[in-house]
Amino acid sequence: MRVLVYYPSMTESDLAQVQAAVPGADIVHAKSADEAAAAADGSEVIMGMMPQEVFARAGSLKWFQSASAGLDNVLFPELVESDVTLTNMAGLYAAAGGEQAWALLLALARGLPDAVRSHGARKWQKVPIAEITGRTMLILGMGGFGREIVKRGAGYDLNILSLDPVREEAPGVAEIRKPTRENLHAFLQAADVVMVACPLTQATYHWIGEEELGRMQSHAYLVNVSRGGIIDEEALAKALHGGLIAGAGLDVQEVEPLPQSSPLWEAPNFLMTAHQAGFSADRHRNVVRFFAENLQRYAMGKPLANVCDKAKGF
């Protein structure tokens, strides 16, 4: 069995850990798309990234283990329509994602962006702040990130609402509804905080647009730690400049890096990080361990962890 690892940051020690999980496997490491494409033919398993040109040459492929939790970059028609099993890293980055979401929210609510600017200007200046305790929070998506956001909100006496296509209940969540437009609008009107933690699919692309932002309360905050395309950024910039919402924090953008021409750069009460919600010092080690364990399951004919529904996109 040939296993192609297209994950450039893999070290010799990491590859040895993968090899130890399945001693008889032929482990091939590719550090570029060209190397991966050259090694794809004959590979039964591929781990890491999957450009279309690599998939096109992987005629023997049975299982692709994505190194990401989100799948929007690999769900091209040829893969979706194939018999290839797709698994992801859902859950591995969830704790870090939950922390990032709360970091963005608390920074906005406590006026830290303004405080940092005052600091840089050597000004002693009080800034507007808001209190989160006792408020209503809407979480879009009750997957790994969503559940970790709930856990970290346990001490804030929040009324937590959620929209999720699969789950009907979750610890700490007062109400979960199906992600219909009607339910979204109803919950947006009730929320003081909106956390975006759902995958990017055809159904969620620009899910938060001009109409949705207009339904939010003027004191509400919007935070996105999943995928940039879920929020219409032009509409968000307009809402921030117009004072329709209190502020927004984005860890992800529709185009990354955010183009210099984006009006979000000059938007008030806006905080951005560079798509790092799922990162931590433990991330790489956890990815290697998870893949080694899943590869061992595959070799033994056991059910794989984190099998995804390619048609649904998660």
- What is the Cα–Cα distance from 17 to 23, expressed in whole angstroms? 10
Q: Do the domain assignments include residue 311?
A: no
36: domain CATH number?
A: 3.40.50.720
Q: Contact, 60 vs 44, CB < 8 A?
A: yes
- Residue 167 designated active-site: no
Q: Do the domain assignments include residue 107?
A: yes
- What is the Cα–Cα distance from 2 to 27, expressed in whole angstroms? 6
How far out from the chain centre does Cα 82 lie? 25
- What is the Cα–Cα distance from 80 to 73, expressed in whole angstroms? 12
Of the residues 147, 215, 227, 254, only one is catalytic, namely 227
Q: Do the domain assignments include residue 62?
A: yes
Pairing of strands 136-140, 159-163: parallel
Q: Do the domain assignments include residue 24?
A: yes
Of the residues 81, 131, 211, 256, only one is catalytic, namely 256
pLDDT number for residue 207: 98
Q: Which long-range contacts (CB under 8 A, 24 or more apart) does 182-188 make?
A: 184/140, 184/212, 185/211, 185/212, 185/215, 187/138, 187/161, 187/163, 188/138, 188/212, 188/215, 188/216
Total number of residues shown for the chain: 314
Q: Do the domain assignments include residue 312?
A: no
How far out from the chain centre does Cα 193 lie? 18
pLDDT number for residue 21: 97
Sheet holding 136-140, edge to edge: 175-177, 159-163, 136-140, 193-196, 221-224, 247-250, 270-272
Candidates 257, 297, 261, 296; CA nearest to 276 is: 257
* Structural domain for 53, as ranges: 2-92+281-299
pLDDT number for residue 137: 99
For residues 74 and 64, membership in a common domain is answered with yes
- Residue 275 designated active-site: yes
pLDDT number for residue 40: 98
Q: What is the pLDDT of residues 285-312, one digit of tens each?
A: 999 999 999 999 999 999 999 999 999 9
- The CA radius of gyration of the chain, in Å to the nearest whole number, is 21
Where do the H-state alpha helices sit in 231-301?
233-241, 283-299
Candidates 210, 182, 179; CA nearest to 196 is: 179
Low-confidence ranges of the chain (pLDDT < 70): none
Q: Say how many domains are in the chain.
A: 2
Q: Do the domain assignments include residue 83?
A: yes
- Residue 44 designated active-site: no
For residues 25 and 153, membership in a common domain is answered with no
For residues 116 and 25, membership in a common domain is answered with no
Candidates 65, 98, 74, 49; CA nearest to 226 is: 98
pTM of the model: 0.91
196 backbone dihedrals φ, ψ, rounded to 5°:
-95, 115
Of the residues 275, 283, 284, 289, only one is catalytic, namely 275
Per DSSP, 307 falls in state B
